[in-house]
A and B are shown apart, each in its own frame.
Chain A
């Protein structure tokens, strides 16, 4: 069970850091609220529920991207990657711990965003909530891996959206259409791939 205690320790570290510094989560919540407000003015009056739902998905993807860009900032600025890689734990535990922390941030932002959407636009059914939860798993697993790749480069913050957005297109399709089985398939395939690949991304940095 040491693998899971490593994961728990790493995730706890990120959550504690956020609890003390309060850097990422407030900006994500403000961002998603501002985005929804912009959508209100961007949409013509009397827009159908489906059109508004599509914009909700766009807002969620970009909010998640904001959180993912911040995910490895502390590691980069304080040279933590070397220490983490040297630590006697499986490298994929670093990925899993970070994914869990990012998932917690995104879920917190959505706890604000979904009721706000329901109040601003139209109500949300249980299927949408389930789709959002499943989509978050895919976003975190793929986004954390790509985030670790992006911070290694010179372009950094610029690079992650370019890497991540083409990967997010299937998530949007599954989310807007409410295809839960498709989102689950996406999560399973890419979580497995990211879990196996993470070691190669950090081991030579």
Chain B
């Protein structure tokens, strides 16, 4: 009974993600107005920023599940935390790629240390890649769940601290700060942005549930195999 519900949920979330993503792409390319300064290339904003925000949601969700591992000793939360952080790293890598493309289009360079969000994502990317190294070097069990959870909690605290540090560092590394937060978003831009953000969040939810279902299936299979031998 529960299994059919979970299968339905994956299918429903997948359908939601596909329809929202189609709507977002249509809005981005055919509805949103071109930027006065940057022209067509500014439209990558509607991908880049929602992806970055979704990555934050992934890391926070992972940290919340990590807290449940430590606090409530919830066995299931360990895999959930891992899957959320895995998705977060995927979205984080996409943020780096889209940000890099945008930097190339608007400033002619692939990488700009003056861009706070990009540098922050580089730090987070390094941090959370080490999460996998930690996890894969430990034997599966309670100790691994606890250590991964502690590391995930450090990560979510590191986000504001790193952001503050990067802001501070610009004072002595970059005297000139790039500033592209010119005009406020107009109504049509806001609509496009919101739909795109909803699409990314739905995509995360769908991928999260697919991967989680896979991991659970995997562990059930392993238990069965152990019972047989």
- Of the 9-residue stretches B12-20, B30-38, B97-105, B164-172, which lies at the interface with chain A? B164-172
**B137 near A169 (CB under 8 angstroms)?**
no
Would A197 and B158 be within 8 Å (CB), given that A149-B147, A177-B169 are in contact?
no
Shortest CB–CB separation between residue B222 and chain A, in angstroms?
Answer: 20
Q: How many residues of A contact B (CB 8 A)?
A: 35
Binary CB contact string for chain B from 156 to 183 against chain A (1 if under 8 A, 0 otherwise): 0110011011101101100000000000
**B151 near A163 (CB under 8 angstroms)?**
yes
**A159 near B70 (CB under 8 angstroms)?**
no
**A153 near B137 (CB under 8 angstroms)?**
yes
- Name the prevailing secondary structure of the A interface residues: helix
Shortest CB–CB separation between residue A5 and chain B, in angstroms?
Answer: 27
**B130 near A163 (CB under 8 angstroms)?**
yes
- B123 contacts across to A, CB distance below 8 A: 166, 169
Asked if B221 lies at the interface with its beta carbon under 8 angstroms from chain A, I say: no
Would A205 and B143 be within 8 Å (CB), given that A152-B138, A169-B165, A177-B171 are in contact?
yes
| Docked pose: A193 CA to B160 CA in angstroms | 15
Asked if A170 lies at the interface with its beta carbon under 8 angstroms from chain B, I say: yes
- B165 contacts across to A, CB distance below 8 A: 169-170, 173-174, 182
**A166 near B158 (CB under 8 angstroms)?**
yes
- A169 contacts across to B, CB distance below 8 A: 123, 162, 165
**A166 near B168 (CB under 8 angstroms)?**
no
| Docked pose: A142 CA to B158 CA in angstroms | 12
Shortest CB–CB separation between residue B99 and chain A, in angstroms?
Answer: 18
The answer, among A149, A152, A179, A204, for a CB contact under 8 Å with B151, is A149
Shortest CB–CB separation between residue A104 and chain B, in angstroms?
Answer: 24
The answer, among B70, B137, B142, B171, for a CB contact under 8 Å with A154, is B137
Asked if B134 lies at the interface with its beta carbon under 8 angstroms from chain A, I say: yes
Shortest CB–CB separation between residue B173 and chain A, in angstroms?
Answer: 9
Name A153's closest neighbour in chain B (CB-CB). Answer: B137
**B168 near A204 (CB under 8 angstroms)?**
no
Supply 13 further A-B pairs (C-beta < 8 A) apart from A167-B127, A170-B161: A152-B138, A153-B137, A159-B130, A163-B151, A167-B158, A170-B158, A190-B154, A193-B154, A197-B70, A200-B146, A200-B150, A204-B142, A204-B143
Chain B interface residues toward A at CB < 8 A: 70, 123-124, 126-127, 129-130, 133-134, 137-138, 141-143, 146-147, 149-151, 153-154, 157-158, 161-162, 164-166, 168-169, 171-172
Q: Top 6 nearest A-B pairs by Cβ distance?
A: A153-B137, A170-B165, A166-B127, A173-B165, A204-B143, A155-B137
Chain A interface residues toward B at CB < 8 A: 50, 142, 145, 149-150, 152-156, 159, 162-163, 165-167, 169-170, 173-174, 176-177, 179, 182, 185-186, 189-190, 193, 197, 200-201, 203-205
